[in-house]
Structure 1
């Protein structure tokens, strides 16, 4: 099954406005953490100059503004949802960063950028939408020679597998071993540079726990929407599945340098 077909099965059961309205309520749209974002930047050599960064699938911008603190950079924060784009604009203005953080509404598989125009491409918790291999291959053209890509991708953490593989097959069809993910990065035209596994706190404390009040508020705001409860039930199923199988899979930060 092609990636976009799988996306339709998982995401298009709910309209995009419903998804956006929920995720605009939380700081993170996927597992992650400020500490882990900073750790990833520390594994990339210092640029020692002003650079250009594309943060693809930026969501509400938690990692975007960590990058803005770390680098002297012009950052294009890219997301498909207008709700996320408006949030980025508001945060940029509140932080006095309008001149360096630019919100760009675009699809990650149709980016409106010039080739070889970025020093760093960032994607936390988002590359699965386009597909890991496809995303690395497509985004590579926008990197300058020697530029870096940093993405998080769900991967097997060892040899153990969940007893119930149905959720994995529906939601993480490209999951693979860390070794194979590194190999795929190499085959996509990058020198694998560094990688590390995100800790459990990135899932539970940073992502799932803040969802609980957002779920209640979301259902209160959408009492008559035919799919609002179903959407929340699916999120709760995901949380329960992760809790049961967190020793089998998790997010890994993969960093590569364009060959």
Structure 2
């Protein structure tokens, strides 16, 4: 694979944080998709405790808070994201029950059996889908829910170019049926799985990045790593347009049994 298009995890974390802090969403999704996933969860009340792991600046978290009761803790490793998260909560007058803290998803501050719902849109890949399912399960009450969106193959076979890209970027990408089986094996009752529509990528993720790319390049003029990073992001968008029939995100909702 051309070094110009090296995987995102090979870039400096500060560079990644600076770039994605400029976006309202740090990954594909939409308010409609968040609300749809939430519709499968029936155990929430005013005393419920919810964690949004890998929350970013909280685009999806605020939608969650506006459509569900309970207290939500956002977790992210980037301080800039959490600053924006808490600002967003205040602007929406949600600060009394929505709070973001800087923490790694592999070192969560919750007690066993404390949470009613674990949410994670497009972020569980940072720890790995199967590892996340297994390690986070202990924090859920029996009957609690886990809802995550995750990179997913839509077909059993795909072109070599996109297969190679994802095997380098995230080897755990798999088909819907295999992801559901992993969830079941990890001690969850699979409740729902659905594929995110194309506009979650195009209109809500890639389109806003066009302007963000230019601003980022100006802010980091002459920085070869920054230039390579934007090349990486643009390459990802090109691959999606070319191969979107073969992969995307799917939401997985499971109930701890």
Which TM-score applies when normalising by structure 2? 0.94
Q: What SS does the aligned partner of 2:160 have?
A: coil
1:239 paired with 2:241, answer: no
The size of the alignment, in residue pairs, is 251
> Please, which moves more after superposition, 95-104 or 155-164?
155-164
In the TM superposition, 1:47-66 aligns within 5 A as 47-66=44-63
In the alignment, structure 1 segments of 5+ residues that lack a partner are: 1-8
> Please, which moves more after superposition, 27-36 or 37-46?
37-46
Conserved in 1, the CA contact under 8 Å of 2:7 and 2:232? no
**Deviations 1:109-147 (CA, angstroms, capped at 9, x unpaired):** 111111111100000000111000000101101111100
1:150 paired with 2:147, answer: yes
1:76 is displaced (CA, Å) by: 0.3
> Please, which moves more after superposition, 92-101 or 62-71?
92-101
1:156 is displaced (CA, Å) by: 1.3
> Please, which moves more after superposition, 184-193 or 39-48?
39-48
Give the aligned CA root-mean-square deviation in angstroms. Answer: 1.3
In the alignment, structure 2 segments of 5+ residues that lack a partner are: 1-5
Segments of 4+ moved more than 4 angstroms: none
**Deviations 1:206-245 (CA, angstroms, capped at 9, x unpaired):** 1001100000000011103231100000001111111111
**Residue among 25, 30, 55 paired with 1:28:** 25
Equivalent-residue separation in structure 2 for 1:160 and 1:134 (angstroms): 25
1:193 is displaced (CA, Å) by: 0.6
**Residue among 162, 165, 168 paired with 2:166:** 168
Equivalent-residue separation in structure 2 for 1:11 and 1:247 (angstroms): 22
Equivalent-residue separation in structure 2 for 1:200 and 1:44 (angstroms): 24
Q: What SS does the aligned partner of 1:28 have?
A: coil
Conserved in 2, the CA contact under 8 Å of 1:50 and 1:71? no
Which TM-score applies when normalising by structure 1? 0.94
1:130 paired with 2:127, answer: yes
Conserved in 1, the CA contact under 8 Å of 2:50 and 2:73? yes
1:159 paired with 2:150, answer: no
1:10 paired with 2:21, answer: no
Conserved in 1, the CA contact under 8 Å of 2:113 and 2:142? yes
1:106 is displaced (CA, Å) by: 0.6
Conserved in 2, the CA contact under 8 Å of 1:78 and 1:104? yes
Counterpart of 2:103 in structure 1 is 106
